[in-house]
Amino acid sequence: MTAINFPDVDYGARIDRARTEMARRGLDALLLSVGSDLPYLTGYEAMPLERLTMGVITPTDSTLVVPQLEAPRVVDRGCFDVIPWAETEDPVGIVQGLMGGATAAIGAQTWSLFLVRLQQAAPGVTFSDATDVMKSLRTIKDVEEIELLRRAGAAVDRVVGRLRSMRFSGQSEAALARQVMEMTVEEGHDVATFHIVASGPNAASPHHEPAGREIVDGDCVVVDFGGRFGGYCSDTTRTFHVGEPTAEYAEAFSALHAAQLAGTAAAGPGVVAEDIDRASRCVLAEAGWGEWFIHRLGHGIGLDGHEDPYLVEGNKEVLQPGMAFSIEPGIYVPDKWGMRIEDIVVCTEDGRESLNTSPRDLAIVE
């Protein structure tokens, strides 16, 4: 696990907002372990290990229970106590002692091992899933969060700029993916978290894992990548072509480009999430490519690469200023080719802001 430099923001205010949500829902304790909910409230990310790390928020106290050997990693934010536990101590007992009350919401990514032990240690407590509590806090980003997403977006855009002048043919997908990763870190990310390089027929698989295939003249190449910047995620996709594309590919790409713009233009405050998906999908359907757009239009993004809100048929959630999400239509023709364009977009008071502004055209490379 790479150390992430979480920003120095007012975590105390976030914990207070969590307490307001807890009161509204009649919760006596909020228990957060692995995942992004804990760093959102404390600036500390739990190691995903068999040693328990758990933030315990009650109406009066907030405490981070952490393995003693990891305690030196904790940055004092002035708004929670730290209880380091030694190898011979029982962390579940310590958490149970801090909880009190009869109802507790627990982070969705907490290992079931610890939930089961807590249930055994505190049989009178009713446990629920903390997802909704945390979603209500995390979905709408504040100005500091949006600035980190903006800087993350600018960093991956610089990588795209460098890619546009690179030679693709003769390289394996894996070799190009390694360079994408290195450039993602060079441009300011704490860590590169994923890198899809899908060439030729492999591009028909949206989540293709780059392998040994050598990129050759006439290939399309979908590059989808991102990392974490001050804890916040970047995620962008651009499509490249080695040499000039066929007429069919060029025609499909212009429909895709129009669909991406239509999705972005549809986003804004008060708009229903599924309507944005539909606005983009209609463009591809009318151009005859609808059946090959096989995934939702987008996902929310923040401390997690995929989080609420999801832009998908059936999601009636209404967009509000501060929500951040991807707009990423694609066309995937099995065994032939694929293409995708992806930007991160933030809903603003009067519309939207694209956090990725690198050219969206089909980049012709050597």
**Within positions 62 to 91, which residues make up the interface with Zn ion, using CB under 5 A?**
none
CB of 235 to Zn ion, least distance (A): 4
Which C-beta is closer to Zn ion: that of 30 or that of 233? 233
- Contact status: 274 vs Zn ion (CB under 5 A): no
Q: What is the x/- site pattern for Zn ion, positions 228-267, by CB under 5 A?
A: -------x-x------------------------------
Which C-beta is closer to Zn ion: that of 67 or that of 153? 153
Q: What is the x/- site pattern for Zn ion, positions 302-331, by CB under 5 A?
A: ------------------------x-----
CB of 283 to Zn ion, least distance (A): 19
How many residues line the site for Zn ion (CB under 5 A)?
5
Pairwise CA distance, residues 246 & 250, whole Å:
6
Tell me if 32 sits within 8 A of 41, measured CB to CB.
yes
Which C-beta is closer to Zn ion: that of 65 or that of 297? 297
Q: Identify the residue among 224, 274, 304, 308 touching Zn ion (CB under 5 A).
A: 224
- Contact status: 45 vs Zn ion (CB under 5 A): no
Pairwise CA distance, residues 342 & 311, whole Å:
13
CB of 330 to Zn ion, least distance (A): 10
- Contact status: 280 vs Zn ion (CB under 5 A): no
Contact residues for Zn ion, defined by CB under 5 A: 224, 235, 237, 326, 342
